[in-house]
Each structure stands twice: as structure tokens, then as C-alpha cells.
Amino acid sequence: MPELPEVETITRLIRPRLEGRRIQGCEVRWTRTLGGLSRPAFARAVVGTRMSRVWRRGKFFVADLEHEGHAKGALVGHLRMTGRVNVEPDGWDPGPYLKVKLALDDGSSFYFIDVRKFARLWYAREAADVLGPLGPEPLSSEFTADGFHTGLRARRRAMKPLLLDQDFVAGLGNIYVDESLFRAGIHPLARSDRISRERAAKLHRAIRETLAEAIAREGSSFDVFYRTPEGNPGSFQDEFRVYGRKGKPCVACGAPIRRIVVGQRGTHLCTSCQRR
DNA sequence: ATCCTATCCTGGCTGC
DNA sequence: TGCAGCCAGGATAGGA
């Protein structure tokens, strides 16, 4: 599932191929991908604009659009589970799951591909209209251990669902939450308001280290879905300590990794290292 | 305020 | 080998 490290990897790869390019044509094969806009309205909005800057926020990627030097909204994408993005030269075969194709002025095209049809590519007058009230970027300086601790204490929720809440912290998903909680030795069902300052600081550090290491390895590819836009798999899945390791020995203590369900989500942990 | 469930989707896996 | 049935999973909406 593309989470922050995967989206960051994708954004870095497509940025040089998109920035400065003008959108010349638009082909939509599945209208719902547009998140409510009709095909003609979407095409009218984006065709003729130039992508000025490509950036990431949480699990979203954004391309700011301009027309004759003036800001003209943004293209905002969310890959959900199986979305992919490619920017490829003419003649490239996007396969059977292509949802949106944008032809660019250098002969290449932007391909938005998705198997399960949950991914979205919005046009919005302001990117913020789509992004909504996202929490802090976990790798930015605005995400501090103290602020994190204060936020945890202000809520009374189980740690796992709180960390998955994009309004609390932006960009974490099922995999990186499990990995971060393991590294910090915190049980997924621990109450957020009972986390000490020291443990909050340890988790804060674990989240940042896990994400940074995953980005350095270009994300995780544990199934056929996630590939970088160059077609390469990431390699962070080789570093998973709990995710997908049910029954295998804990790297720290050797006890078998357990899989439980928390908030309808498969959750992996070492019950010996992560006590309640 | 928080939790729980259903919904959206389809490839891949399990079990017969 | 074939096939039915189940499952994963991000985000959101609605109900408890």
C-alpha cells in the first residue's frame, strides 16, 4: 500500500518529468477516479495548463497548475491501495488498468493506473480543498516530540487507530504504524493518553527513522502492486520487523510475531516486546 | 469523543 | 485443474 515513503519515492521520480510540462490532452477511462468531477469538466480544467511544481503532502501528491503564468488550481492524487503513476514516452503500454491519461507537450504522457479503483485523481482550485485538515508531516521540523506527546495526551484512543488517523499525523499507513510501534516497544492497543513523555519521544524517533529508512530504500514492495515509476521495486520490505511476519521469530527476542485485528486492520506485533 | 460497521473493488489465496 | 468464497486495505459515512 503506498504510504508516505512510497509516495515520496514516486513524487521524486515524476517531478523532473512533469515540472514545466503542459497538458495537451486528457483521456478518462473511469470517471469515479476523478472524485466527483465529470470528464468534460475535468478536461476543461486541466487541458492547456502547465505543471509548475510537483510536491507531496502525507500520502497525496500534488501538481500545481498554471495558465499563462497565473495559478490555475492543482492536480491532486491519492493512490490508496493499488494506484500507480507513470510518466512515459509515446507508445508505452499502460496495461488494462489505466484510469486517466494526460498527454504532455514533450510527447510523453502521465498515466494514472489502478487495479481496485479506489485511487483518486482530483482537480481542485486549491490543493488544500482536497487535502483537508491533515496532521503534521512526520519528517518535518513542525513534528516535534513535545507536540506529539501533547497530541497523544489530548486524545483517548488506542495508539494504532490514532496513528492511522491522517488528521493526527499525515502519511502513516498500516505497515509503517506496525513497524514504528514495534521499534518503540508500544502495544497497538495502548491508550494514547497514558503514554509517558519518554515513550512518546521514543515513538516519535521510531516513526521518523522508519520513514527515513524506507525512503532511502525507495519504499516497500511486498506484492505485485507497488513499483517505482521506473518499474523498480522498493526494498524496505526486507527490513520489516513485524509486518507480514506472523509466526516468525521476533528480531529482538525470538518470540513468535502475532497478528491481531485492531479497528478492522491486520496488526502485527511482538507481545513480549510490546506489552500492554 | 470514540468506536464499530459497511462500502468501495479485484487479484490472489485457500480449500474442496 | 477448476471454482466458489474469502480477504486485504485507505478513507469515509452513518449509526451506536
Catalytic residue among A21, A56, A59, A72: A59
pLDDT at A224: 45
**Which residues make up the interface with nucleic strand C when CB must lie under 7 A?**
A 1, 3, 58-59, 78, 80-82, 116, 118, 132, 164, 166, 173-175, 264-266
Q: How confident is the model at residue A134 (pLDDT cuts 50, 70, 90)?
A: very high
Q: Determine whether A2 is an active site residue.
A: yes
The number of beta carbons lying within 10 Å of the beta carbon of residue A178 is: 30
pLDDT at A233: 66
What is the distance in angstroms measured between the alpha-carbon CA of A197 and the sugar C1' of C9? 32
Interatomic CA distance for residues A269 and A259, integer angstroms: 7
Interatomic CA distance for residues A248 and A199, integer angstroms: 26
Kindly state the DSSP code that residue A218 receives in the 8-state scheme: T
What value does the mean pLDDT take over residues A40-61? 96
- Residue A58's contacts (CB-CB under 8 Å, 6 or more residues apart) are A4, A7, A131, A134, A135, A137, A166, A170, A171
Kindly state the DSSP code that residue A272 receives in the 8-state scheme: T
pLDDT digits (tens, 9 = 90+) for A229-267: 566 668 888 889 999 898 899 999 999 999 999 988 999
Q: Determine whether A44 is an active site residue.
A: no
What is the distance in angstroms measured between the alpha-carbon CA of A232 and the sugar C1' of B13? 25
Q: What is the largest CA-CA distance in chain A?
A: 62
A64 has a pLDDT exceeding 50: yes
pLDDT digits (tens, 9 = 90+) for A182-218: 999 999 999 999 999 999 999 999 999 999 999 999 8
Nearest partner of A98 among A89, A85, A108, judged by Cα: A85
pLDDT at A231: 63
Q: Note the pTM of the prediction, 2 decimals.
A: 0.94
What's the angle, vertex CA A69, arms to CA A63 and CA A70, rounded to 5? 75
What is the distance in angstroms measured between the alpha-carbon CA of A162 and the sugar C1' of C3? 40
Any idea which residue has 521520480 for its cell?
Answer: A13
